[in-house]
Amino acid sequence: MSKAGIIGGGAWGTALAQVCARAGRQVTLWAREPDVVEAINTTHENAIFLKGVPLDPLIRATGNLGDLAESDLVLAVAPAQHTRAALAAFAPHARDGVPILLCSKGVEQGSLKLMTQVLAETVPQAAPAVLSGPSFAGEVARGLPTAVTLACPDPGCAESLAEAIATPTFRPYFATDMIGAEAGGAVKNVLAIACGIVEGRGLGRSAHAALITRGFAELTRLAIALGGEAETVAGLCGLGDLVLTCSSPQSRNMSVGLALGQGQTLDQALAGKLSVAEGVASAPAVRELAASLGVETPICEAVAAILAGQVGVDDAIRGLLSRPLREE
């Protein structure tokens, strides 16, 4: 796997391009924005989405998806709600059996499908895999130690992919449960908004810890209902990612919740943000998906209701605290 293609020139796509270059791959990154393509090729920096991080000069950026046709592995890093369009555009260039590593986290609005289902419908000839785990783009790009889950139904393919992108500071643990890996990544973004609200309202560390714990219970229930395994979400792609995303305003999703908790409107909270907070788009889809499966997710439901303007922050908090007492 000497050639790696990256679909998506945002912060995370750029960081993963850097990882692949460090791992010795020949990297071609596709970006939608011509300014990103030009900057990476001329100044070796993505000044729009990952300012201040020097990139490997061997990373080549392009605005033509056909330039990824000869890739031995492809990392799909477009935002979840744009993944279908990006993969459909790449499909005519995808070789039979090419591994596509899905790196976006979310549930597609409307269809309520996970990214592996979107991939199966758009590029059925590809070999699917999922990359998920506690990882901030800036830290990964700068080479700080990071561990993630790489899930693929074929254990041999999972191991080969892990070896292809592993570096001394980027450590993939391989698994076979793609559904569990996806569910963890999708739901944690919604829960991070809730944790930001708790922080913004000044409700304290005890409330923050309780929310992470009870949110993890929701995440686990939904993953199992989808066909995933509890053991998977207890690892890096579930609990690990949840702890990171819910514990730092550096998280795009938590920062949105922080603004909401401080009294801003959703429009104000999102104003000026170039990078996508996946939880905002995924929250209504997660709520609808959970309801269709009969899974109880009161925290995710409250976040979706707040984002939709159906309930105020304080009323949502009171609603959660007044739920009937029950066994843990």
188 is a catalytic site residue = yes
User: What is the C-alpha to C-alpha distance for residues 180 and 191, in angstroms, rounded to an integer?
Assistant: 16
Contacts of 98 (CB under 8 A, 6+ apart): 71, 72, 73, 74, 125, 126, 127
**Distance set, CA 150 to CA 101, 133, 157, 200 (Å):** 8, 9, 10, 33
Check the CA dihedral 144-147-151-155 and report its sign.
positive
- Rounded Cα distance between 107 and 121, Å, is 15
Residue (of 208, 130, 205, 190) closest to 162 by Cα position:
130
Name the active-site residue from 51, 105, 188, 273: 188
DSSP 236: I
Q: Which helix (H) or strand (E) holds 179?
A: helix 178-200
- Which amino acids are annotated catalytic? 188
